[in-house]
């Protein structure tokens, strides 16, 4: 079957929009109406006048789109496309943690469930985390969850202390420091760029740290340089498409990782066939019951407002 042709026809007939993250396989990025980072994707979800949002990403992303658009149908090609970071923050334990620190403002990274968002004051993404944290008065204590690596990076950049939840992303923690040093020895003229979900020792080697969009923009602005890219390897598709002459190497992962480079198996659960099927059958659809949805919407709206 010609999935490109069929998807194009269906999306027109059904007034559907396809939103994809940079970690999706190349064919999905190529057919999407919009490809972006978590902030860009939630901004697109807030703006769209489509009747159906096909979210080619992971569950928390589609769930965020549904929280913003309760009357629209939001479908995810594979309902099992979860996120280790979101899973590292179970609502019951987080609620108990929050209750121990009632004077703290809760800032949560968007990579979390609707239940965690509903327990938050403001949501952030990797591209606006510094701005969001800096928007909180200096004397107000902050709980930051669920990513401890991003949290530690923000603490270093802002010079302020935060209480960190002990969560992390399996993909960004799979980079091998030994292999990275070895690779850099072979290619000393390559600059290392990294996503802030990576561990501190990896971030310490980087000349640039930022969200997926930030990393793409940095490469665009420095096209004559060469880069070792420390984030999920799907990002190389967009970089190579826009900067075909720039030399890029994905940062190496530890031996026992499923891929020699870091691939997110959750993101890669979506395929063109599943995308076609979910658009055709309008399932699996994401549902977020009230009042959970309204409670989770508030901190997302605060983030969107602060990101204008």
Binding-site residue set for iminosuccinate: 21, 38, 109-111, 126, 195-197, 212
How far is Cα 293 from Cα 291, in angstroms, rounded to an integer?
5
3-state DSSP: the chain helix, strand, coil percent, rounded to 5? 45, 15, 40
x/- map, 46-65, ligand 13P, by CB under 6 A: --------------------
How far is Cα 56 from Cα 54, in angstroms, rounded to an integer?
6
Annotated binding-site residues for [4Fe-4S] cluster read 83, 169, 264
Among 42, 211, 262, 270, contact with ligand 13P (rule: CB under 6 A): 211
Cβ of residue 236: shortest distance to ligand 13P, in angstroms?
A: 14
Cβ of residue 47: shortest distance to ligand 13P, in angstroms?
A: 17
Cβ of residue 188: shortest distance to ligand SF4, in angstroms?
A: 28
How far is Cα 7 from Cα 163, in angstroms, rounded to an integer?
45
Near ligand SF4 by CB under 6 A, which window of 29-37, 259-267, 273-281, 283-291?
259-267
Annotated binding-site residues read 21, 38, 83, 109-111, 126, 169, 195-197, 212, 264
Near ligand SF4 by CB under 6 A, which window of 95-103, 116-124, 130-138, 262-270?
262-270
β-pairing, 122-124 with 73-75?
unpaired
E strands in 207-276: 208-209, 226-230, 248-250
User: Are 83 and 111 spatial neighbours (Cβ–Cβ below 8 Å)?
Assistant: yes
| CA distances from residue 79 to 83, 177, 184, 285 in whole angstroms, order as listed | 11, 33, 38, 9
Q: Would you call 211 helix, strand, or coil by DSSP?
A: coil
Residue 175 interface partner, choices ligand SF4, ligand 13P, none, CB cut-off 5-8 Å depending on type: none
Cβ of residue 158: shortest distance to ligand 13P, in angstroms?
A: 18
Name the residue nearer to ligand 13P (CB basis): 36 or 284. 36
| CA distances from residue 251 to 36, 156, 228, 258 in whole angstroms, order as listed | 21, 23, 6, 14
Residues of the shown chain interacting with ligand 13P in the complex, contacts defined by CB under 6 A: 37-38, 111, 125-127, 169, 195, 197, 211-212
Residues binding ligand SF4 (CB under 6 A): 58, 83-85, 111, 169-171, 197, 232, 264, 266-267
């Amino acid at each position: 079957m010609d999935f490109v042709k069929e998807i194009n026809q269906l999306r027109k007939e059904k007034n559907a929009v396809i939103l994809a993250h940079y970690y999706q396989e190349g064919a999905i990025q190529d057919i999407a109406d919009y490809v972006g980072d978590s902030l860009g994707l939630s901004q697109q979800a807030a703006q769209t006048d489509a009747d159906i949002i096909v979210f080619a990403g992971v569950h928390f992303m589609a769930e965020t789109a549904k929280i913003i658009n309760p009357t629209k149908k939001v479908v995810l090609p594979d309902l099992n496309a979860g996120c280790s970071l979101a899973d590292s923050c179970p609502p019951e334990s987080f609620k108990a943690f929050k209750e121990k620190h009632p004077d703290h403002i809760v800032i949560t990274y968007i990579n979390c469930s609707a239940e965690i968002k509903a327990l938050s004051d403001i949501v952030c993404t990797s591209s606006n985390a510094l701005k969001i944290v800096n928007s909180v008065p200096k004397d107000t204590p902050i709980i930051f969850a669920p990513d401890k690596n991003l949290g530690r990076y923000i603490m270093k950049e802002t010079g302020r202390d935060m209480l960190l939840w002990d969560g992390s992303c399996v993909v960004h923690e799979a980079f091998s420091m030994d292999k990275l040093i070895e690779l850099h020895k072979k290619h000393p003229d390559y600059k290392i760029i990294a996503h802030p979900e990576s561990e501190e020792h990896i971030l310490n080697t980087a000349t640039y740290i930022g969200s997926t969009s930030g990393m793409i923009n940095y490469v665009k602005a420095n096209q004559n340089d060469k880069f070792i890219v420390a984030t999920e390897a799907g990002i190389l598709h967009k970089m190579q498409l826009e900067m075909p002459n720039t030399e890029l190497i994905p940062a190496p992962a530890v031996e026992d990782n499923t891929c020699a480079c870091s691939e997110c198996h959750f993101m890669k659960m979506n395929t063109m066939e599943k995308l076609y099927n979910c658009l055709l059958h309008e399932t699996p659809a994401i549902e977020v019951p009230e009042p959970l949805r309204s409670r989770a919407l508030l901190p997302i709206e605060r983030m969107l407002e602060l990101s204008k």
